[in-house]
Amino acid sequence: MTSKQRAYLRALANKLEPVMQIGKASVTPELTLSVNEALEARELIKISVLKNCSDDPKAIAGVLSERTRSQVVQVVGKKITLYRESKDKKKIELPK
């Protein structure tokens, strides 16, 4: 992903509300499955890491992107933004 594409996705993500929250259980198989489904439906999602989660948001983002084969767009504070192109319902057209 180029820096121009990442900047475009960051701009789109500014308007998004978090679709999921990660609590003290951190990254579970169930969470990974729901992130996978959300990425397929929306392509670009924002996840909020709650205060009671002891893991680092950047580490969580890395694990989730690896398990869901998505790309980390950004991690700001306790907010993670992930992107993965949908197989069926492509919505976001990335700049070249």
- Report pLDDT digits (tens) over 3-45: 898 999 999 999 999 999 998 888 899 999 999 999 998 999 9
Q: Give the domain CATH number at 29.
A: 3.30.110.60
Is 39 within 8 Å of 70 (Cβ atoms)?
Answer: yes
| Domain presence at residue 93 | no
With pLDDT > 70 as the criterion, what percentage of the chain qualifies? 100
Q: Which domain holds residue 69?
A: 3-83
- Pick the closest to residue 10 from 44, 48, 41, 56 (CA basis): 44
Residues 6+ apart with CB under 8 A from 5: 94, 95
Instruction: Specify if 49 maps to a domain.
Output: yes
> Would residue 92 count as lying in a domain?
no
Report the candidate in 52, 59, 49, 20 with the shortest Cα–Cα distance to residue 36. Answer: 20
Asked if 83 and 44 touch (Cβ cutoff 8 Å), the reply is: yes
Q: Looking at residues 65-87, what average pLDDT do you find?
A: 92
Q: Considering its fold, how many domains does the chain have in total?
A: 1
Tell me, yes or no, if the pTM score tops 0.85. yes
Q: Looking at the domain assignment, is residue 90 inside a domain?
A: no
